[in-house]
Amino acid sequence: MPDDLENQILDLPFKGVNVRQDIISGQFVNKDKLKEFLRTVQLCDLVKLSKSIRDQIYGNHITYSRKVFINLVNLCKDSCSYCTYKKEPNEFGAVMLRPSQAIAIAEAGKRAGCTEALIVTGERPETKYIEAKKWMNDLGFASLTELISDLSEKILVKTGLLPHTNAGSLVKKEMSMLKSTNVSLGMMLENASERLLERGQVHANASSKIPKVRLKSIISAGELKIPITTGLLIGIGETFEEVIDSLILIKDLNTKYGHIQEVIIQNFLPKMGTQMEYSRSPSFSYFLRCLSSARIILGDISIQVPPNLSPRIYSKYLHAGINDWGGISPITPDFVNPECPWPTITEIANTTYKNGHILRARLPIYPKYIIDQNLNRNFVHPDLKGYIEHLVDNYGLVKEEHIKHEY
């Protein structure tokens, strides 16, 4: 950590000298003191430190990925108490796309200047619903991963959009099948606490949300050298200490494998018709403390907050250490949060500029894996290099000519 940041930490009103050294070195040996520091230090000081770390690493660039959201199948074997994405087979809004429909969405994205095809599915729907298994088999596939791999290849060839799949807790063999067609994968950890699986807690009926299962998927991605996006959901009954434990665990895994490209810090929003309909969203101060702590712990890992989930205040997160707005689509909704439309890219660009930053488009694989030759050699499959290289400049960001300007 640069010397001026060290001085800022030493100026903070906290007596635990060792935890300051932990923050400076990025090695969190004394986790109890770290938690005490992050919990008790003045929020304004924590935010200031978080912003300073971000500025030192990323300068004034804030990124986003221009994408289309391909909602491939929204049947799911789990039942999370806050989710409206999952549908039953005969329910209004249930989706099981044909490949031609998915490709048509990608082609529309290409015309709109998108570079990412986000492919999202429910968690292993074919294990619970005969309708999902029949849909998959009728298309000629024995597994959902085979279908996604084939669809990803077709999207690459026909449109040049880069697939990024979020299909839940995949095993190592499944991830290996996707490496040659997906530049990155995504899977929210949400929280590493086993307590949230207990009866009455948020993940009591969601076996795939068992932290060990999710962590095994993240580790498998690291062993396969696949860049992965993960994240925490804030406000689902966790404690602040559980947030910090989860962040340190993510940090440790990235230190070992170098593959966690981005961490989403997402605020919980109650949804009508769910078990948590009348639950409260996290307070702004609590969320801000979690967000600032994430930057301090995660260092140079990219941190994103979805702007559509905080439409009136998302600009404030620029002052708390984020460096990315995530995937934004000019043509498809956020199917996970359909009640929360994305701000236009023009609005995000203007908001970013008014707060002293410049908005730049990135690919669904982060620049460091593109421009660092050692990372590029290990983390980018040879079959994908040609699709990536012509899209980016020397900084690994999307060339201006590939973007359909709205601002």
Residues 31-40 have pLDDT tens digits of 888 888 899 9
Q: Which domains does the chain have, with CATH numbers?
A: 3-57 (no CATH), 58-402 (3.20.20.70)
pLDDT of amino acid 10: 52
The string of pLDDT tens digits covering residues 102-154 is: 999 999 999 999 999 999 999 999 999 999 999 999 999 999 999 999 999 99
Q: Residue 219's pLDDT band (boundaries 50, 70, 90)?
A: very high
The string of pLDDT tens digits covering residues 55-65 is: 999 999 999 99
pLDDT at 364 over 80: yes
Its pTM stands at: 0.94
Q: Quick one: 319 exposed, middle or buried, by C-beta within 10 A (0-12, 13-18, 19+)?
A: middle
pLDDT of amino acid 17: 46
| Residue 100 near residue 154, CB atoms below 8 Å | no
Residue 195: how many other CB atoms lie within 10 Å = 13
Nearest Cα residue to 156 out of 98, 106, 229: 106
pLDDT at 12 over 80: no
3-state helix, strand, coil in the chain (%, to 5): 45, 15, 40
pLDDT at 3 over 60: no
Q: Residue 15's pLDDT band (boundaries 50, 70, 90)?
A: low
pLDDT at 400 over 90: no
pLDDT at 18 over 50: yes
Average pLDDT, the chain: 92
For residue 136, the SS3 value is: helix
pLDDT of amino acid 184: 98
Kindly give, in sequence order, each residue whose CB lies less than 8 Å from that of residue 23, ignoring residues fewer than 6 positions away: 1, 9, 34, 37, 296
The string of pLDDT tens digits covering residues 323-344 is: 999 999 999 999 999 999 999 9
Kindly give, in sequence order, each residue whose CB lies less than 8 Å from that of residue 312, ignoring residues fewer than 6 positions away: none
Residue that has been written with the tokens 């329910």 in this structure: 91
Structure-model confidence comparison of residues 200 and 19, the more confident one: 200
Q: Residue 403's pLDDT band (boundaries 50, 70, 90)?
A: confident
The string of pLDDT tens digits covering residues 227-282 is: 999 999 999 999 999 999 999 999 999 999 999 999 999 999 999 998 889 999 99
